[in-house]
Chain A
Amino acid sequence: MKRLMSVKTLLLTSALLIGAFFMSGLAQSEPLSKDSVEFNKVRFEQVKQEKLAQKWLVLLWSVDCPPCMKELALVQKLQQKQKNLAVVMINTDTEESSEQERDDIIKHFNLVSLKSFHFTQGQEAQQRYQVDPQWFGELPRSYFIDEQGKFHGKSGLIAEELLTQWLLTL
């Protein structure tokens, strides 16, 4: 009987453990619980795969870049016209002092629903290179990705008409 009890305890413990394992697994696969997640090559590739056969935009920005704020404001304006805008944002700041600022800006422009990445301290150049080996870090940097998955990079603030034409599908 005692043995049977211990078996029952074991079964219960196992069930709890397995449950906890899966729960933690689910929690780990939900990186968008915060406003922004750390950029890495695998994640970026995953996004590229998800966006295959559609037109989308990658916007790289920094808290230290005034024209970037103008472009974020343009994205906000388009977001108001059309939800689920095909825009992925990548913040290039890695300083601890920039973290709060980054989140505040994303919230300020109401862009929390867009996918947001940020670079990692000490890996800024590597990650820049992963995005585009031909890009030197000037900001804002926008990539227009066509239905074939081809990247067309452009530095500096993008004209509103171009963004509208590229992103609004309605």
Chain B
Amino acid sequence: MKNIKNRLKLLILMNFILSIGISQQVLAEPMDHSQHQGQKSAKQAKTSCQKIAVICGKTVTSAFAPNGDFWRVWSQQDNIYYQTSSDNGKNFGIAKAVAIPKEKISARNENRPKIAFDSKQGVYLSWATPREKKYTADIRYSYSSDYGKTFSTPITVNDDGLLTGHSFNEMVVNDENEVSIVWLDGRLKQRKDANNGSAIFIASGNMTKTTAQFVNQEVVNGTCVCCRLAVDYNQQGKLAILWRHIYGDNIREFAITTLGEQSKPYQVSHDHWKINGCPHQGGALSIAKDNRYHMVWYNQGDKGKGIFYGYSDDAGKSLSLPLAVGKQAAQAAHPHMSEQNGVIDIVWTQFTGTEHQLWHQQSTDKGVTFGAAKVLATSTKGSDRPFIIQGESKSFVSWHRFQQGHWLSQL
């Protein structure tokens, strides 16, 4: 009996020692430990972002409507959702799905839905929808004449009927309610001047008129395939487009053209970034009332690395001495800028290794000098591209952080 008791004690002791040994072994293997944590966090991320909310959107696009309402738009589960705020982003109404049939919406990196307004009750949406073959998509468009209550059946804007790339759409509406959509288009890929790149196409329409809508026109061929375009109207009402072009043997530099004013684009940057790849970083353009073109861009060339700001008084033909913005060593990237009443705001992100930082720098003398750079906000999880959104007389920064939320702040 005593023997059995002793064996029992010994067994319990052995079990105890073994279990400690095993648990220590598990703890001593950070790889497995972290694997579990990583999987758990990934699972948590997935499950916690099933709800319909801007916090679960990967990208957010926003704009002020003429009545002062702030709109933000994102994509989830093959729908486009929007929310509006009448107090500059402090409070928002409920998230509503745009009342159109579900379809896939491209919303990653530089590629995302766009929203614009006209002076009446018009709300304009455009986006890219991926097609069945890899790297193919169509540019889609829907319009609301009743401030978002109803939306038109979406149409495909690209008129080539080809299963090829059509994406990175930008959209603007002018004072005459003419909507213009520009995008990167793969239909000319076989042409000699494509340089393995895309082309820019433009199509315009006017919902208040019965003229032909969205006739596609080529703007330029041989552009980078994965960087967003930047557009703005100049003081003559002409549309200017800034993009990353491919020069020579994969030298990726920014170029600009003003439609109807020039036959050949101007090269803006001269940083000599040679890369047969995807920088995923477009520029920003804002044209002032004095017709000064303000621009920011990003390059990693052997003649220029980082973010640069420059202005031009002749539509990009000549440029001010580019000003380096942000800290290259701190991964300064994704710049955006906007000009309003002589004030130029530039925002960009930096990364410390653990934290994303949103930085801001301002000029009050039309871009001649800039004040000190300041951190506006931070994020530990993720960082979407920041954008400056123009209100009626004020500029705001819009920054979305996946699972942390969308943030709007007056500059």
Contacts and interface: CB of A to CB of B under 8 A. Distances in A.
B35 A31 contact: yes
Given A18-B18, A28-B35, A67 B280 contact: no
Interface residues of B, number: 50
B382 A122 contact: yes
Contacts of A139: 277-278, 280
Interface string B369-411: 0000000000001110000000000000000001100000000
A8 B250 CA distance: 75
A66 B135 contact: yes
A4 B403 CA distance: 58
Given A125-B382, A156-B275, A42 B34 contact: yes
A3 B2 CA distance: 12
Nearest to A31: B35
Scoring B25, B39, B382 by chain A CB atoms within 10 A of each residue's CB, the highest score goes to: B382
Given A11-B11, A66-B225, A122-B403, A157 B300 contact: no
A113 interface: no
B207 interface: no
B96 interface: no
Interface string B12-33: 0011001000100110011110
B41 A120 contact: yes
A111 B119 CA distance: 55
Interface string B275-306: 11111110000000000000000001000000
Contacts, number: 117
Interface stretch (B261-269, B313-321, B349-357, B360-368): B349-357
A64 B25 CA distance: 40
A125 B351 contact: yes
A156 B353 CA distance: 23
Given A64-B278, A138-B280, A155-B277, A120 B42 contact: yes
Main secondary structure of the interface of B (DSSP, over half): mixed
A137 B385 CA distance: 13
Interface in A61-103: 62, 64-68, 95-96
A14 B15 contact: yes
B12 to A, nearest CB: 9
A126 interface: yes
Contacts of A68: 277-278
Interface residues of A, number: 44
A156 B226 contact: no
A138 B275 contact: yes
Contacts of A28: 32, 35
A125 B11 contact: no
B98 interface: no
Contact of A96 (B46, B278, B281): B46
Contacts of A136: 281, 300, 331, 333
Contacts of A156: 250, 274-277
29 contacts: A3-B4, A18-B18, A29-B29, A31-B35, A38-B35, A38-B38, A40-B38, A42-B30, A43-B31, A64-B108, A65-B277, A66-B226, A67-B276, A67-B277, A67-B278, A120-B42, A121-B46, A122-B41, A125-B382, A126-B353, A126-B354, A129-B351, A133-B353, A136-B300, A136-B331, A136-B333, A137-B280, A139-B280, A140-B278
Interface of B: 1, 4, 7-8, 11, 14-15, 18, 22, 25-26, 29-32, 34-35, 38-39, 41-42, 45-46, 58, 108-109, 135, 225-226, 250, 274-281, 300, 331, 333, 351, 353-354, 356, 381-383, 402-403
Given A67-B278, A95-B58, 19 more contacts: A3-B1, A7-B8, A14-B15, A38-B38, A42-B30, A64-B108, A64-B278, A65-B226, A66-B278, A68-B278, A124-B382, A125-B351, A125-B383, A129-B331, A129-B351, A137-B333, A155-B275, A156-B274, A156-B277
